[in-house]
Amino acid sequence: MPISTEADARSYVASLCDADALARLDRFATLLLLENARQNLIAKPSEAILWQRHIADSAQLLEHVSRETAPAPWLDLGSGPGLPGLVIAAMRPEMPMVLVESRRKRFEWLRQTADALGLGNCRIEGKKLESVEPFKAGTISARAFAPLRRILDLSARFSTTSTLWLLPKGRSAAQEVEELPKRLKQLFHVEQSATDSEAGIVVGTLTRTALGRLDGGIK
């Protein structure tokens, strides 16, 4: 059954991190709610279910990432309110994180919040993804950023054959995978969300052939 209460959501997140990380997330939650009164970072109705709808929803991505894997930069696209980027950074301070957010006010808030939480592992890029210098990402995530085909097109230059793609897509997950060209569709699958029985997470890696073909964009 999906997580359905704030208490269960917080307990779930606590099972994935240590006490110091949980304290950082408590601080993050406080800062997020304060900032949401100034700019629209999350929907107002979701403030009452912040841990379930946003923090646990972000934290669950770590269930798909091995802790034994040598840390490589995790690239989070369109980080907005720090979901999932700041949540992951707070839970795994040893993991290099790169958050991309082109909207100035959100970029400034992300930078200030990363500093307030002491997240030295976190780099914030305040520009469009197309302008970010490419690097080999270990994981690529995106939450409410763009349709799947567009994400793959924009991000292929950061991907290798070992890069893990973790893309929460809500109720559209299966449909967006189904709409991919056949050569790409077979490389991705949908995992059930822990926080929403009707939502899914698109998970996959790209082959060398697929990466080569993506250089010209998805056709």
pLDDT at position 15: 97
DSSP 77-133: ES-TTTTTHHHHHHH-TTS-EEEE--SHHHHHHHHHHHHHTT-TTEEEE-S-GGGSP
Separation of alpha carbons 26 and 177, rounded Å? 34
Q: Which helix H or strand E contains 20, and what residues bound it?
A: helix 19-36
SS3 22: helix
pLDDT at position 218: 54
96: left (phi over 0), alpha (psi -120 to 50) or beta: beta
pLDDT at position 146: 87
- The total of other beta-carbon atoms located within 10 Å of residue 177's CB is 22
SS3 48: helix
Q: What is the CA radius of gyration of the chain?
A: 17
pLDDT at position 83: 97
pLDDT at position 141: 97
Separation of alpha carbons 78 and 76, rounded Å? 7
36 burial type by CB count under 10 A (0-12 exposed, 13-18 middle, 19+ buried) = middle
pLDDT at position 183: 87
pLDDT at position 212: 80
pLDDT at position 1: 76
Beta bridge partners of 100: 77, 125
Summarised one tens digit per residue, pLDDT across range 19-68 is 999 999 999 999 999 999 999 999 999 999 999 999 999 999 999 998 76
- Per-domain boundaries in the chain: 6-214
Residues of the chain with pLDDT under 70: 68-70, 215-219
pLDDT at position 44: 97
pLDDT at position 68: 65
6-214 is classed CATH 3.40.190.10: no
- For the chain, what is the mean pLDDT? 93
Beta bridge partners of 204: 165, 188
